[in-house]
A and B are shown apart, each in its own frame.
Chain A
Amino acid sequence: MERQNILNFMTNNKELLLVHTSMYNVRLEHPINIMLTPQFYTVKKEAIPVKYAYQAKKIAPSLFDGLLEEDGKYDYIVFKEKVEDEESWVFIAYNIEKIIRFLESKGIDTNKVSKVFFIQQAITQFGKASLSLGDTEVLSVIDNTVVVIPRIVFGEDNIPSLRFTNEFTPKDSGISIKSSTASQSTLMTQTQAFTLITIFMLFAGMFIVEGSRYSSDTEEEKVEIESIYQTYPYLQSTYTRQDAIDTYKNIDRDERRKRDVIKTVSSMIFKGVTLTSLKIDEKKIISEFLCSDTMVSTRIKELVKKLENKLLTAKGDTKIIVEGTL
């Protein structure tokens, strides 16, 4: 209730401009509210048994069936009116595009239009009086509906006595051109857009939160690395670390190879074979065997051929030389 009052207070503060077809061009300096005459809307009253305006609004399009131009796109505003203890729903159908086009034709910047009201909402201001609309027309109330009638019908003696002031600003809320134009968009309604935006933003939020919270799962490793750095500070340097890796890997590879080769050569010493010499340095190996006969030497040669590493070659008859480069 308090919020409603604040809103009313805010809207009432703004200047109210009566918009009718015979009005002059207007240049706005500051935001205003506007009030539309029946020239811009179609009104219908019905006493239907619904409690809330949103329920009444749902059936509004069917009420105007056949009354409105088929090519236009209409929106509706519904409010309750009480006349002589009888309550009825007032349905107003309006084409916001047409209204905007007219306002723009009169030089009115629609960005400066805060709220749009309909003169029917200000029916209580009329009483039995009427309001002049230029030289040829008059706004008057007939059967509790504000209508535009030619001045000539009134006669010369019946002069319109009402003056249009900010007091005509209704207590009911008006419509906003921004939200109305938004609802007029071609592909989707405001509700659909809102739903989609909500879904997209929800997903976006999830992705952002997920992305920002995606932390490292290598905390244990990091702690271990830190502890290694404390014990071996020189390994913190990438170059030193790489150098150490290269050095020790080379040593490890070369020494394992030397030992493997020596073991291989040792495995060739069996019955009928005598090792006469073996020399291994950092680059090559050369070993000499004395075999009891050619069968034994052939067996050694076959053993050398079967070696996977192919490092060694064997030559000779009973005196076999097995050599290779490391």
Chain B
Amino acid sequence: MNLKRYMNEILVILSLLFMFAAYFYKHHQVSQQTIQNMETKQMLSQLKEVISLKKIWKNKKVTKKIKELKNIVSSSKLHWSQKQNKITATYTKLSSSELNKLTTKILNTPVIIRLLDIKKIGETYTVEFKCKW
């Protein structure tokens, strides 16, 4: 077979193949970039999430809020023990309203509740509360 005779066809086929190769190159670039973009956005959202979670659960201002738990009732009703980032508190002879106030405060304080034990003794309540942050 005389290849020279089919030189036109060969060149056309080669250019067609080149065009396809270029198309696949573009397609590859686009999909690669899309993946990269997705990864970047995902990473940013992860970082933002971890930072916001840290701001909630590792907030330095939480110590101030913990103090509010100490001052919520009179010291005669409270036994308070704090070791670094852990507290153990026992509240005694709490009225219903004091119990409500304390519970709401505990729920709104970003600490890890290790124990919340509420017992009704007579007309008053005793609360044992352990948490860390």
**Which chain A positions have C-beta within 8 A of B57?**
248, 251-252, 255
Q: CB < 8 Å: which of A255, A263, A276 contacts B113?
A: A255
Q: Give the number of residue pairs across the A-B interface with Cβ within 8 Å.
A: 164
On chain A, the residues within 8 Å of B115 by CB distance are 279-281
A207 lies within 8 A of chain B by Cβ: yes
CA distance A231 to B113 in the complex (A): 29
Q: Is the CB of B15 within 8 A of A196?
A: yes
Tell me if B80 is interfacial: C-beta within 8 Å of chain A.
Answer: no
Find out whether the CB atom of A216 lies under 8 angstroms from the CB atom of B15.
Answer: no
User: For residue B45, which residue of chain A has the nearest CB?
Assistant: A221
- Known contacts A185-B7, A203-B19; A241 and B47 CB within 8 A of each other: yes
A309 within 8 A of B: no
* Residues on the B chain within 8 Å of A218, using CB: 36-37, 40-41
Alpha-carbon distance between A262 and B107 when the two chains are bound, in angstroms:
8
Cβ contact within 8 Å between B18 and A235: no
Chain B contacts for A221, CB-based, 8 A: 40-41, 44
Residue of B with least CB distance to A279: B117
- Decide yes or no: A216 and B33 within 8 Å by CB, A221-B40, A262-B107 being known contacts: yes
B79 at the interface (CB under 8 A from A): no
Residues of B within 8 A of A190 (CB): 8
Partner of A280, one of B4, B25, B37, B113: B113
Q: Is A39 an interface residue (CB 8 A)?
A: no
Q: Are B118 and A259 in contact (CB under 8 A)?
A: no
* Contact code string B42-59 (vs A, CB < 8 Å = 1, else 0): 011011111101101110
Which chain A residues border B7 with CB–CB below 8 Å? 178, 181-182, 185
Contact indicator B40/A255 (Cβ below 8 Å): no
Residue of B nearest to A278 (CB): B118
From A188, A192, A203, A232, name the one whose CB has the most chain B CB atoms within 10 angstroms.
Answer: A203
Distance, CA A138 to CA B50, complexed state (A): 100
Within the complex, what minimum Cβ distance (angstroms) separates A183 from chain B? 8
Interface residues contributed by chain A, number (CB under 8 Å): 61
**Chain B residues within 8 Å of chain A by Cβ, number:** 52
A200: CB under 8 A from chain B?
yes
Q: Does B50 lie within 8 Å of A241, measured CB to CB?
A: yes
Interface residue? A187 (CB, 8 A): yes
Q: Are A185 and B6 in contact (CB under 8 A)?
A: yes
Roughly how many angstroms separate A200 CA and B48 CA in the complex, as a whole number? 47
Q: How far is the CB of B56 from chain A (nearest CB, A)?
A: 7
Is residue A28 within 8 Å, beta carbon to beta carbon, of the partner chain?
Answer: no
Report the minimum CB–CB distance from B25 to chain A (whole Å).
5
Contact B46 A241 (CB under 8 A): yes
Report the bound CA distance from A254 to B53 in whole Å: 13
Query: A-side binding surface: helix, strand, loop or mixed?
Result: helix
Q: Is A47 among interface residues, defined by CB-CB distance under 8 A? A: no
Q: In the complex the two chains form, what is the Cα distance from A211 to B2 in whole Å?
A: 38
Q: Which of A119-127, A222-230, A315-323 contacts B (4 or more CB under 8 A)?
A: A222-230
B19–A249 CB distance below 8 A: no
Are the C-beta atoms of B22 and A205 separated by less than 8 Å? Answer: yes
Chain A residues 207 to 251 lying within 8 A of chain B, measured CB to CB, are 207-208, 210-212, 214-218, 221-222, 224-225, 228, 232, 235, 241, 244-245, 248-249, 251
CA–CA, A204 and B113, complex, Å: 64
A and B contact pairs by CB, cutoff 8 A, 24 listed:
A178-B4, A181-B4, A182-B4, A182-B7, A184-B5, A185-B6, A185-B8, A186-B6, A200-B16, A201-B18, A211-B25, A211-B27, A214-B33, A216-B36, A216-B37, A216-B40, A218-B41, A228-B47, A245-B53, A251-B57, A252-B56, A274-B120, A277-B117, A281-B114
A187-B8, A187-B9, A200-B16 known; 6 other A-B pairs, CB under 8 Å? A214-B33, A248-B54, A249-B49, A258-B113, A259-B107, A279-B116
Give the A-binding residues of B (Cβ under 8 A): 2, 4-9, 11-12, 15-16, 18-19, 21-23, 25-30, 33, 36-37, 40-41, 43-44, 46-51, 53-54, 56-58, 103, 107, 110, 112-120
